[in-house]
Amino acid sequence: MSHEILPPTFERNDERGLFQEVLNSGKWEALICGRMKPQTIIGNHYHNKTVVFIYLTEGSARIKTVHVETDDREEFLLKSGQGVVLRTQEAHAIRFVEESAFVMLKSIPYDPADPDTFHFIV
């Protein structure tokens, strides 16, 4: 299990301002935006059906993953302007190192009747 840290796929920066195409692949049905305080942890769970893409617009976060079937583990730093795809069966914990803002895409929208979220301490 190896995570590719993804920079924007296209960037235009001119007198008008900055335009970034952050991701140009995948099937996404939900968009989440957030801002987290330093040392906040989100996750400590995995999904059976949902793929997650997280992209930091500000700050940095340390991400730990564990594949729940193979026990493959990885830890890496995600910085502002970088994103990563978190796959199914991959427990993840995201600790924000500093005040951070993010955009998250999910392949399946959250459904309280069928949350597809399984607690797993990473």
Evaluate whether residue 112 is within a structural domain: yes
Which amino acid, residue 35?
R
Q: What is the pLDDT of residue 99?
A: 98
113 found inside a domain: yes
What's the confidence (pLDDT) of residue 72?
Answer: 97
Inside any domain, residue 3: no
What is the CATH classification number for the domain harbouring 96? 2.60.120.10
| Phi–psi pair at 65, nearest 5 degrees | -130, 150
- Does residue 14 form part of some domain? yes
**What's the distance, CA 53 to chain centroid?**
4
Q: Is residue 4 part of a domain?
A: no
Domain interval for residue 56:
10-23+30-119
The answer to whether the beta carbons of residues 45 and 106 sit under 8 Å apart is no
Contacts of 16 (CB under 8 A, 6+ apart): none
Is the predicted pLDDT of residue 1 greater than 80, yes or no? no
Tell me if 5 is assigned to some domain.
Answer: no
Is 58 among the domain residues? yes
| Residue 27 pLDDT | 94
Amino acid at site 82: Q
Q: Report how many domains make up the chain.
A: 1
Q: What is the pLDDT of residues 52-81, one digit of tens each?
A: 999 999 999 999 999 999 999 999 999 999
Q: Is pLDDT above 80 for 19?
A: yes
Cβ-in-10-Å burial (0-12, 13-18, 19+) of 37 comes to: exposed
Query: Hey, how many other C-beta atoms are within 10 angstroms of the C-beta on 36?
Result: 19
Residue 82 within a domain: yes
How does residue 91 score in pLDDT terms, banded at 50, 70 and 90? Answer: very high
* pTM for the full predicted model: 0.92
